[in-house]
Amino acid sequence: MDKTGLRSLIDVRCGVLPRLAALACCGAFLLFAGCSQFFPPLNSGGGGGGGGGTSSGDYLYAGNVAVGNYGIAAFSFANSTLNSLSSSPVGLSFPPVALAVSRNNNYLFVGGGSSLSLETYPINSNGTLGTAFSYLNYSPAALKIDTTGGYLIAVDALAGTAYAFQIATSSGALSPLSSSLISLAGCVPGTNVPLGLSPSLAITPDDKYVYASCGTAGIYVLGFNSSNGQLTNIGQLAGPTNGGADLGLAVATTTSGSSTSYYLLAAETVTNGVRVFSINSSSGNITQAGSAVSTGQGPAAILVDSAKDYVYVANRIGHSISGFTLGSGGTLTAVSNSPFGTGLLPMALVEDNSHTYLAAICSGGNADLETYTIDTGGELSSLKNSATGADPTQASSGAATH
């Protein structure tokens, strides 16, 4: 990537600091003043009542954050290969830093990070995107949907907060829950998160706990109630190891007889490893289990496959994916032939809904999107690569139908 491309990536992912300082002050006032205007929706074109197309296909979306080329590229997995959908990429007026697909596969939620943008796109029955409707005064840098599909949780790019929306499953409309606004004390994403990267969210399968990473600030532990969307601050802040920055998060599950255990996995850049934490089922608090497991350079994203057998880590600086088997006690053992090569600067990993393919979204290109078949034993075999638009794209975020 040339200097111009790197600078543009830094600007859209983390913002230009003087501008963000002013916005953050404004955002903090709106967040903590209890003002109802913090949550004003603005319907843009499609309107809040437009439903999705009840998609049943195997679709993948990648967000391009290059200045001048903001957009979302859409693909399908069909006939054992990757296919670009018509009218892809869809142009945007802001960088799609965070993506999440609704549990019913009818809507794509798009967060614009420091651009103060949040939009809902209906997903048509053929996987293409309908007309978006927008919400003002949000700056989500990370998005996660709970397992019930009823709530969208976000980490803000400016104010150092987490908040939640109720999702109307029939329309995709978002209703903010002002009681679920949580301050992540000490988290300033533009400062704590390394340039060009974003915070991350993970949720336990029982929907009781949410974890938010904020780079050098560490990992925040939150409680969650899936019956009403309520977030609570449990109070634990797990700091990074010396000189590290916690980025990608994922929750892994192991079973032994009738006993189920959850583990939080954290990709820690600079120290080039994955930290494994045991999760206390009663409190949600986390305790590191042993030393960090070595990865390639600059681990930025983690994915646990749907079968809960394998863990994959995107190594941004190493241009690779490290693959591990998941064992009892949350132990990670490298799979054969790991690491696996990717394009330049892989930023996000996505599994398709057939649980057959893995996609790596690469902000440095060459190629923007790399797809693999998940083989027996967890090895990855290259399937097909693709551009996500006209260069430069700086593809940096991804999501897939469930």
Q: How many domains does the chain have?
A: 1
**Measured between alpha carbons, how far is 115 from 81 in angstroms, rounded to an integer?**
35
Q: Is residue 267 helix, strand or coil? A: strand
Length of the chain: 402
Q: What is the DSSP letter of 48?
A: T
Assess whether pLDDT exceeds 90 at residue 29: no
Assess whether pLDDT exceeds 50 at residue 318: yes
Query: What is each CA distance from 214 to 16, 185, 229, 394, in whole angstroms?
Result: 18, 10, 22, 22
Query: Which tokens hold the place of 287?
Result: 């305790």
**Measured between alpha carbons, how far is 156 from 402 in angstroms, rounded to an integer?**
25
pTM: 0.88
Query: Which tokens hold the place of 139?
Result: 């700056």
Query: What is each CA distance from 148 to 32, 64, 164, 253, in whole angstroms?
Result: 28, 29, 14, 18
Predicted pLDDT of residue 32: 36
- Percentage of residues in the chain having pLDDT higher than 90: 74
CATH assignment at residue 116: 2.130.10.10
Q: What is the DSSP letter of 38?
A: G
Query: Which tokens hold the place of 146?
Result: 């709970």
Q: Residue 316: pLDDT band by 50, 70, 90 thresholds?
A: very high
Q: What is the pLDDT of residues 72-130, one digit of tens each?
A: 999 999 999 999 999 999 999 999 999 999 999 999 999 999 899 999 999 999 999 99
Count of CA atoms in the C-beta half-sphere (13 A) of 8: 22
Q: What is the pLDDT of residues 349-372, one digit of tens each?
A: 999 999 999 999 999 999 999 999
Query: Which tokens hold the place of 129?
Result: 């995107």
Query: Which tokens hold the place of 96?
Result: 């799609």
First to last CA, the chain: 33
Q: Are 160 and 141 in contact (CB under 8 A)?
A: no
Count of CA atoms in the C-beta half-sphere (13 A) of 354: 18
Domain that holds residue 356: 3-400
Q: Residue 387: pLDDT band by 50, 70, 90 thresholds?
A: very high
